Amino acid sequence: MPNWCVTDIEVSGKKDELSKLYDLIKTWGSKSLDGDSNEDYCFFRFKDVVELTDIVKYAEIFTEDKLNSLSIRGNLEDMQIQKDGSLLIRVSSPWNPMLLMWIRIFDKYLTDYTMYYMSEESGEDIYITNNPKYIGTYNFDVKDYDSLEEKLGKGNVPETESYVSEKRIIEIFQNLLESELNDIDELITKFNSSYFIDDISINKFDFVPIEDILQKRNY
């Protein structure tokens, strides 16, 4: 069984083109599945799994020979038009982000666009992005609330937080470890040797350009 990598792809460009592409992807996914939509939020989630192979097939971005040579696996989870008009697509794929198929789709159906991605796969500690909003941010996850509550006392367990700044992580660790250290690396080293290590995970989003992703996975 693979470890599943969840990737959010955010693409901005001409709003009318993005809206048309949004409708097209709904159509491609609905050729084999019925879907529910909430037009108030421009949100669409399929009732069942939509395989990326179907999206690739209906988008007609690869020749049949090329398509047959690729081992495309993964699912389209959901998508939405955001308030700023950008299109957000969430996909899952084995082990690593799968980006080339989406680049091919955007190249075919959009005249001008900017694409950001953000991927998480906890099994291999993959937390990567090219989005300036998230580079260098952290996920702070309480994995075992009961164990942590037993150690810290009721009402003292920190909340799980996503995409938080280094400054915020320093504050959390200073409180958790009762430390006056101000260096994030020193605090993480102290945390790694503490008895909280099995109760909490912390992961930093590193910058990895799309070009580097494509070198590892050419579809």
- Cα separation, 63 vs 187, whole angstroms: 52
Residue 14: other Cβ atoms inside 10 A? 13
pLDDT of the residue at 219: 52
pLDDT in tens, 135-179: 999 999 999 999 999 999 998 999 999 999 999 999 999 999 999
Structure tokens at 52: 């990326």
Enumerate the CATH 3.30.70 domain ranges in the chain, comma separated.
Answer: 4-124
Least confident range of 62-76, 132-146, 177-191, 198-212: 62-76
pLDDT in tens, 81-136: 999 999 999 999 999 899 999 999 999 999 999 999 999 998 889 999 999 999 99
pLDDT of the residue at 133: 95
CB 54 within 8 A of CB 31: yes
Q: pLDDT class for 2, splitting at 50, 70, 90?
A: confident
pLDDT of the residue at 148: 93
pLDDT of the residue at 194: 94
Q: Which residues, other chains included, contact 118 with Cβ-Cβ below 8 Å and sequence gap of 6+?
A: 7, 8, 10, 128, 129, 131, 134, 205
Name which residue leads in pLDDT, 115 or 46: 115
Q: How far is CA 174 from CA 158, 183, 194, in A?
A: 12, 10, 13
% of residues, the chain, pLDDT over 70: 87
End-to-end, the C-alpha distance of the chain in Å comes to 20
Q: What is the CATH number of domain 4-124?
A: 3.30.70
Structure tokens at 219: 């579809």
pLDDT of the residue at 46: 57
CA atoms within 13 A on the CB side of 34: 1
Q: Which residues, other chains included, contact 3 with Cβ-Cβ below 8 Å and sequence gap of 6+?
A: 94, 95, 121, 122, 123, 124
Q: Which residues, other chains included, contact 206 with Cβ-Cβ below 8 Å and sequence gap of 6+?
A: 127, 128, 129, 135
CB 64 within 8 A of CB 72: no
